[in-house]
Amino acid sequence: MDPALVKLALGGVALLACIGLFFGIGLALAAHKFAVETDPLIEEVLESLAGAQCGGCGYPGCEGYAIAVVTDPDVPPNLCYPGKEKVAERVAELTGKKMAEIEDMIALVRCSRPEGRVSHKHEYIGFASCTAANLGFGGPSACQYACIGLGECAQACPFDAITMVDGFPAVNPDKCVSCGTCVKTCPKQIMVLQSLKARVYVPCSTKDIGKKVKEVCEVGCISCQICVKKCPAEAVRQDNGLIQIDQQKCLDYGPSCEEICVEKCPRDIFRRYDGRQVIRRHPENGLKMAG
């Protein structure tokens, strides 16, 4: 081989090695200068969380919440819903924050499509997604506010707490941790988080006028507002066509009203609710992620 070519090749290799060494040293110095020190308290809080990565706290994953609760004095220590009181107490202890009362909640379906015998206005053919079906004229149901029934909420639930029964979601109270994933997922916004202390609820989300509701559903709310007028606690209101209940007002008033809202509802869609009877959580067994 020509010695000149060998010399040229070796020179090229040496040049590349010098360039690599130069940039390597530069990157190392930059990494050292701009390194962000990790707060050990954040790591400790992160290890204390349930690790569900459900986003129910409102932050991007458990690490996002751990950073927020340590660095922001306004972020409360009880936002890890899967971890419940045990985790909240630990986070409060680590961060030195005051422990607030935790309101136990559960996901609830504000729809009675099967009971109301709501028919289909058309057959949906496409992706098995409620969001996709909703793009086609609001879904196949004759009630534009009804559950579409393709199980997107069940697929999204990180705790496998929702199963589809005859095309309608059923929430398992023993698995639901009120993370709110189903609430964010449902395109019809019929999934809500209900306090287990609540006394009454309305499993209907329609905003249509009474005549139209009667045409498509046998039990749907007809917006007669009798419940609003009869409630002595003034806890029931109609907000943009939808009946809403101020559960705290209802609880503060107490049982002396004898749930007159339930008794006076002409459609029997105002229902009694006792979450303490449906809940069967066993915290000592821990929480298991779906899958």
Q: DSSP labels for 68-98? A: HHHH-TTS-TT--TTTHHHHHHHHHHHHTPP
> Sorting pLDDT into bands at 50, 70 and 90, what band is 287?
very low
56 pLDDT above the threshold of 50: yes
Per-residue pLDDT, 9: 66
Average pLDDT over residues 159-167: 94
Does position 291 have pLDDT exceeding 70, yes or no?
no
The boundaries of every CATH 3.30.70.20 domain in the chain are: 105-280
Ranges for all domains in the chain classified under CATH 1.10.15: 40-95
In DSSP terms, 271 is beta-bridged to 201
What is the structure's pLDDT at 281? 46
Cβ contacts of 227 within 8 Å, gap of 6 or more: 236, 243, 261, 264, 265, 270
When mean pLDDT is compared across 20-24, 67-71, 135-139, 185-189, the lowest value belongs to 20-24
Q: What is the mean pLDDT of residues 87-109?
A: 88
Lowest mean pLDDT among 128-132, 163-167, 285-289: 285-289
More confident of the two residues 77 and 276: 77
Structure tokens at 48: 């204390």
Backbone conformation region of residue 207, classed left if phi is above 0, alpha if psi is from -120 to 50, else beta:
alpha
| CATH architecture for segment(s) 105-280 | 2-Layer Sandwich (3.30)
Check residue 290 and give its pLDDT: 46
pTM score of the predicted model: 0.75
Give the highest mean pLDDT range of 1-5, 15-19, 105-109. 105-109
Q: Tell me, what amino acid is at 251? A: L
Q: Nearest to residue 159, comparing CAs of 137, 182, 130, 129?
A: 182
Contact 190, 110 (CB under 8 A): yes
* Residue-level pLDDT at 284: 42
Question: What average pLDDT does the structure give for the chain?
Answer: 87
Percent of the chain with pLDDT over 70: 88
Which residue type does 52 have?
A
CA-based torsion, 61, 149, 140, 219: positive or negative: negative
Q: Which CATH class is domain 40-95?
A: mainly alpha
Distance CA(132)–CA(259), nearest Å, equals 39
* In the predicted structure, residue 31 carries a pLDDT above the cut 70: no
Q: What is the pLDDT of residues 226-248, one digit of tens each?
A: 999 999 999 999 999 999 999 99
**Chain segment 258-269, per-residue pLDDT in tens:** 999 999 999 999
Q: What's the mean pLDDT in 17-36?
A: 73
